[in-house]
Amino acid sequence: MSADQMSVGEMLAATVPMAGTLNLEFLETTAERAVVRLPDQPAYHNHLGGPHAGAMFTLAESASGAIVLAAFGDQLGRAVPLAVKAEIGYKKLAMGVVTATATLGRPAAEVVAELDAGQRPEFPVRIDITREDGAVTGEMTVVWTLRPNA
């Protein structure tokens, strides 16, 4: 993991206290993909002994934030990234360690071109949540915007 990748995870942990509270591990943070792991922690279990739905939502949303920072960090001087809406589907029982893998739903250059044109671009980030055996336990889409600074 490079220093740049660590800085995105460290930045999120410092600016989003919930990411630090859940002890999220930022494994990969590039403009193409972000991978974040939620360790198995009994304090964040549900009634079935797996990670609570809220913890999995935060895991996936944090992975989406990591890829947004990696892809658009160079735009922070002129725009603020904000989550607009999110939708999550829980597909299978999650147990143990779970990992969220986020990918951009639109090319970053296309989003920046809209920002350059004076627009407030919106773009989806898709996230798969998986168990250690590779089974997809959840799918989430977070729509983000880059809100131009006033």
Distances (CA, A) of 80 to 52, 64, 124, 141: 30, 15, 16, 19
What pLDDT digit, counting tens, does each position of 43-98 carry? Answer: 999 999 999 999 999 999 999 999 999 999 999 999 999 999 999 999 999 999 99
| Alpha carbon distance 54, 61 (integer Å) | 10
What pLDDT digit, counting tens, does each position of 13-24 carry? Answer: 777 778 888 999
pLDDT at 16: 79
Q: What is the pTM of this model?
A: 0.91
